[in-house]
Amino acid sequence: MVNPTVTLNIRRRFMKRSYVLDRLKALSILFIICYHLWPSIFPGGFLFVNTFLVLAGFFAVRRLEKLTELKEIKPLLSHIGKVVLRLWIPLFAMIAVVISVIFLSGSLQLKSLRLDTLTSLFFLNNWYQLQSERSYFMDMAVQSPFAHLWYVAIYFQSFLLSAGIIKVTNQFKLDRSIKMFIWLGLLAISQSLYFLWYTPGADPSNVYYSLWTRFSSFAGGVLLYYALPYVDAVLSSVGKRTLDQFKDVLLGLSLFCMIGLSFIVSDQSPLTYLVWLNYFNLLTLIFVWAARNQHLIFSKWLDQTHFHRLGLATYSIYLWYYPLIVLAQKNIRLIQTYLTHYEFLVFVAILGVGLAHYFFIEKNTQNLVTWKKPKNQRWDQGLFTALTLLFLIAMTQSGDQKPIALFKLEHQEFQAKQNAFNTPFPGTKTVVETTEWAKDFDQRFQTDFSYTPTPRFNTKALLAKLESPDQIELTPEQEAYIEELKELDPELFDMLTLPEILYASSVPVTYFGDSLAQGNAYTFRLLFAEGNAYGHKSLQIWYSYPYFQELMDDGELHENVVINLGTNAGLDEEGVTELVDMLGDRTIYFVNTNSAVDHLQQVNDTIKWAEKEFPNVHEIDWYTESLGHADYYIEDDIHLNPKGADYYVALVARTMYEHDHPGQ
């Protein structure tokens, strides 16, 4: 049996040392924000979400254990109600402000946010993300301002599940040691499901969003609470001075490792999900255990920092960081020259808005729902009521339509398929059917409901593009090719000279990349008749090697390779070097980027480095070509619209032609 006095002392020590844990929470939220603002510098910052879940489990069990020991269930229900209120009021206030701003701005985004909003308000956001098959890491086309609320849902669901389990174990009056092993078993089950459901190399969202796989972090915090007396009992024979020094080393080492991992771990590496997420849980547990002793040198240093208030406000800051980053991303193209300053201002704005939300909403939660105070002191309730009414009005205008950016991406993907001319895109099926009906009606009744434009192809006008048209004789195949290009994409045709067009029609080239390449593939194949194109959603250079190897094995990779990678997570010299070595003596063209991503400069600098480093690598300068042309992009400011695709493919053809025909 564990001495009750030991347990009581443990509780008192944790109450004293909660300031240290508040500072850990503050550090965690800063790294999470930095991960989203500067992913190339803090690629593993998202790991600190695990720290929040571990701390949440540890703090929750202390109160739940005391309440579930009572025979009456009313105190427990009252506590759950308070937790709901503490979570929901700040959550609702943030969502109401965001929805109201979108409504007042007239943005069409509101038409696709209804389910996102409602599931977030009912703490079901994670299940909505799973059902919608959305990716927290890769889905740049549909950036919902509420995507981060999966964590709030996971926290609340874990809290409710834990409350029920703790109530049952106390009903049976189980010994603390048995409870410890029960929670150890629950942690093991959750981890087993995690390993069972995770597929290395695939999108990890199915395990990242699921309660059953993320519950292990929360359960770890609960397990630590039950295990503390036994750990202390085992170490009771160790001298106090020695134990304090040992804890001091563990505290500093665990924090150092957590910070270090945030700089080196990739959010797409299978090792992250198989090892580092679990290791981060362990590091947090070690930190919490070691942080109890108030005589620790490291602990004293943490007490002297200014993170305490920030730690108290982490929930409010967390609520606001993602909506503000999504808003900031939409304006990146306007301030590309001052991107570093802009990102720093966004960072400061997140902290400022989050702290204001904490002091005026989160700390004031009880006052916002209590009307028992003088009327002259109800101004905050009046504002909250007005916000609620505006939110309700906005929600009447909301919908569950597919976001425009996603619709356009899916249409581009459909166009890129070989059967694009035979089967209409589902979203345009009605238009196609109506057009076909009109043509059939015209043929049957000699009417003119359908409009057929006069073909604009003219061989003489085509040859006029040449300074010396008599120097080129077009074969029947070339004329047919040019006529088809002129008919299907006259804008692209007008952007190029005849030699460039004829060069593009015959050069063997493979176009390969991520979703940008997928979207541009249709236009690329129109111009490059002897080429092929392959695009894969959310692809990063480090995961492209198997695809290239497969193409080489099948003999599908041509002697010229145009590559569009880097949009999703940047490029690095090591990754580019490995790819260039794999492709051998092929001529390689890397297309730089002007998409609205944080790592734009890093991608472009790496491509310039590669051009200097390897004689067979060349840069296609899309950044300069598209600078100042936001009209080349769809709503997400990342993927190209048809106009942008025309300019993009024309630049590829022109650059390749100039490389193969220098001086012409």
Letter string b/e over residues 569-584, b meaning 16 or more CB atoms within 10 A of that residue's CB: bbbbeebbeebbeebe
Contact 604, 571 (CB under 8 A): no
The CA distance from 452 to 3, in Å, is: 91
Predicted local distance difference test score (pLDDT) of residue 76: 92
Predicted local distance difference test score (pLDDT) of residue 112: 86
What is the average pLDDT across 231-238? 89
Residue 469 has pLDDT above 50, yes or no: no
What lies within 8 Å, CB to CB, of 594 at 6+ separation is 333, 600, 622, 623, 626, 627
Higher pLDDT, 484 or 664: 484
Contact 197, 213 (CB under 8 A): yes
Reduced to 3 states (helix: H, G, I; strand: E, B; else coil), residue 633 is strand
What is the average pLDDT across 33-58? 93
The pTM is what?
0.77
Alpha carbon distances (Å) from 214 to 178, 189, 468: 23, 11, 69
Predicted local distance difference test score (pLDDT) of residue 604: 87
Give residue 148's identity as a one-letter amino acid code.
H
Proportion of the chain above pLDDT 90, given as a percent: 38
Sheet holding 532-535, edge to edge: 532-535, 509-513, 560-564, 587-591, 617-620
Predicted local distance difference test score (pLDDT) of residue 445: 67
Residue 228 has pLDDT above 80, yes or no: yes
Predicted local distance difference test score (pLDDT) of residue 315: 97
H or E element: which one contains 563? strand 560-564
Alpha carbon distances (Å) from 482 to 103, 388, 499: 48, 60, 12
What is the average pLDDT across 145-162? 96
Q: What are the structural domains, with CATH classification, of the chain?
A: 13-398 (no CATH), 426-451 (no CATH), 456-660 (3.40.50.1110)
140 phi and psi angles, rounded to 5 deg:
-85, -20
The CA distance from 612 to 617, in Å, is: 8
The CA distance from 108 to 660, in Å, is: 46
Q: Which two tokens stand for residue 70?
A: 């009572």
Q: Which two tokens stand for residue 368?
A: 């916002």
Our CA angle for 366, 367, 369, nearest 5°, is 70
Reduced to 3 states (helix: H, G, I; strand: E, B; else coil), residue 500 is helix
Q: Which two tokens stand for residue 254?
A: 């665990």
Predicted local distance difference test score (pLDDT) of residue 466: 44
pLDDT digits (tens, 9 = 90+) for 563-598: 888 887 778 888 889 889 999 888 999 999 888 777
Q: Are strands 560-564 and 587-591 parallel, antiparallel or unpaired?
A: parallel
pLDDT digits (tens, 9 = 90+) for 22-37: 889 999 999 999 998 8
The CA distance from 292 to 483, in Å, is: 78
Contact 136, 209 (CB under 8 A): yes
Predicted local distance difference test score (pLDDT) of residue 355: 95
Alpha carbon distances (Å) from 639 to 405, 407, 540, 595, 615: 9, 12, 16, 7, 30
Q: Are strands 560-564 and 509-513 parallel, antiparallel or unpaired?
A: parallel
Predicted local distance difference test score (pLDDT) of residue 409: 59
Predicted local distance difference test score (pLDDT) of residue 375: 59
Contact 187, 224 (CB under 8 A): no
If you search the block for the tokens 């002897």, which residue do you land on?
Answer: 530
What is the end-to-end Cα distance of the chain in Å, rounded?
90
Q: Residue 173 — left, alpha, or beta (φ > 0 → left; ψ -120 to 50 → alpha)?
A: left
Name the band, by pLDDT with cuts 50, 70 and 90, for residue 310.
confident
Q: What's the mean pLDDT when you consider all of the chain? A: 83
508 phi and psi angles, rounded to 5 deg:
-80, 120
Residue 170 has pLDDT above 70, yes or no: yes
Contact 499, 479 (CB under 8 A): no
Residue 8 has pLDDT above 70, yes or no: no
Provide DSSP, 295-308: T-HHHHHHHTSS-H
Q: How many residues does the chain have?
A: 664
pLDDT digits (tens, 9 = 90+) for 342-354: 889 999 999 999 9
The CA distance from 172 to 168, in Å, is: 7
Give residue 365's identity as a one-letter amino acid code.
T
The CA distance from 517 to 412, in Å, is: 10
Give residue 421's identity as a one-letter amino acid code.
F
3-state DSSP of 119-163:
HHHCCCHHHHHHHCCCCCCCCCCCCCCCHHHHHHHHHHHHHHHHH
Reduced to 3 states (helix: H, G, I; strand: E, B; else coil), residue 588 is strand
Residue 6, judged by CB atoms within 10 A of its CB (0-12, 13-18, 19+), counts as middle
Contact 334, 327 (CB under 8 A): no
Helices (H), 358-469: 365-368, 379-396, 404-416, 429-445, 459-463
What lies within 8 Å, CB to CB, of 41 at 6+ separation is 34, 263
Q: Which two tokens stand for residue 488?
A: 């299907």
Provide DSSP, 273-287: IIIIHHHHHHHHHHH
Predicted local distance difference test score (pLDDT) of residue 5: 47
Predicted local distance difference test score (pLDDT) of residue 413: 60
Question: CA gyration radius for the chain?
Answer: 30
Name the band, by pLDDT with cuts 50, 70 and 90, for residue 139.
low
If you search the block for the tokens 């990779």, which residue do you land on?
Answer: 557
Q: Of 551, 548, 553, 598, which Cα lies nearest the Cα of 575? A: 548
Helix, strand, coil percentages in the chain from 3-state DSSP, rounded to 5: 70, 5, 25
